[in-house]
Structure 1
Amino acid sequence: MASVGVRGWARALSRGARPSITTLMAGARTASGLSKDMLPGPYPKTPEERAAAAKKYNMRVEDYEPYPDEGMGYGDYPMLRDKSQSERDPWYTWDNTYLRRNWGEPMHWDFDMFIRTRVDTSPSPVDWPTMCKHLFGFIGFMLLLFGLGEAYPMYQPVVSV
């Protein structure tokens, strides 16, 4: 396979040969890197910039809230609520059924944390105090049985030969 990208250019230039069209095409075929439209822009400071950023991310201006400008590099990316893909409707006809996403909808900044095989933010059917009662009740019952087994040992009868 032909060399790809900057490494191919460096090899071609270091050998004294001019980069050929195959080297150029190999870099184009890999489509490496994000396009400028995919990267977050600067933090919006005016209402017009906020409206433009909301339109860029296909959101209403009322729903658009960027991450705070704390120097982390989020830019104008929208701050979406933490909602896992398991919470989304499984019967809806999604454009991408595995990720339960539609084309053009903004993704959470940490979307890889909220996929269906990882963190599940859906509410639990049992509340926390009930779960603790069941756990400690089971552990206490097992400790009681262990104590009874130690206090009253039981052995299989054996016939001497």
Structure 2
Amino acid sequence: MPDWNKDYKPGPYPVTQKERDAAAKKYGLLPAEYEPYPDDGLGYGDYPKLPAISGDDKDPYYPWDFPEHKRNFNEPIHVHADMYGEDRYNVSFRPRFSLLYMWTCFLGVVGGFFAVYYFMEDKKMFRPVVPKQYYRPGVVHYTFEPAE
């Protein structure tokens, strides 16, 4: 890969305190703030475990270095940053109504339509029509004579 930069790849999982301090310095964090992802085989290495903050949660009036991403220069990004942008999933979203209320409304509307269908099924409502009037010799369907 011609554009590959070795600094983009996280280093090996830090085992000693010295390695943890070096990794914290590498990512611009204080050693007390630095916490790596667990070494569970996913390959995150020494990358810091950052809190999940969505783009909607960040201040829109802050003078960001990259305002289109609400990010400053040299700021480490979350491992799943592609999922937490302004046009993506919002981790702090609180719905206006509770889940119980939403289900109650949904089932009430569906149940209401079903009840109307069930109780009105035997009461057919339609526009009454008569058989089609075709021309036949000797049959008069209408005249222009005054009614008697």
TM-score of the aligned structures, taking structure 2 as reference length: 0.72
Aligned residues, how many?
Answer: 131
Residue identity (%): 41
Counterpart of 1:152 in structure 2: which amino acid? K
Tell me which amino acid in the other structure corresponds to 1:100. K
Hey, what's the Cα distance between the residues in 2 that align with 1:118 and 1:149? 45
1:146 maps to 117
- Give structure 1 stretches of 5+ with no counterpart: 6-30
- 2:70 aligned residue: 100
1:45 and 2:27 correspond = no
> What is the Cα deviation at residue 51 of structure 1?
1.9
The separation in 2 between residues aligned to 1:62 and 1:143, in whole angstroms, is 60
**Match status 1:116 vs 2:86:** yes
The alpha-carbon deviation at position 59 of structure 1 amounts to 1.8
Q: Amino acid of the residue matched to residue 109 of structure 2?
A: F
Q: 1:138 to 1:58 in 2, by over 3 A?
A: farther
Rounded Cα–Cα distance in structure 1 between residues aligned with 2:67 and 2:120 = 53
Return the match for 2:61 from 75, 81, 91. 91
Matched AA of 2:121: E
Unpaired runs of 5+ in structure 2? 134-148
Q: Deviations over 1:133-161 (max 9, x none)?
A: 22222222222233244243322344676
Is residue 60 of structure 1 aligned with residue 30 of structure 2? Answer: yes
For residues 84-131 of structure 1, the C-alpha deviation after alignment (integer angstroms, 9 at most, x for no partner) is 323323333322222222221111112212223332322223222222
| AA of the residue aligned to 2:102 | M
Q: 1:152 and 1:83, CA in 2 relative to 1: closer, same or farther beyond 3 A? A: farther
Q: Residues 59 and 138 of structure 1: is their aligned pair in 2 closer, same or farther, counting only changes over 3 Å?
A: farther
Q: Hey, what does 1:75 align to over in structure 2?
A: 45
C-alpha displacement of 1:40: 0.8
Counterparts of 2:64 and 2:103, CA distance in 1: 38
1:159–1:133 CA distance, 2 compared to 1 (3 A) = same
d(CA) in 2 for partners of 1:113 and 1:92? 22
1:133 paired residue among 104, 107, 129: 104
2:6 corresponds in structure 1 to 36
Structure in which a larger fraction of residues adopt helix: 1
If the length of structure 1 is used for normalisation, what is the TM-score? 0.67
Q: Secondary structure at the match of 1:116?
A: coil
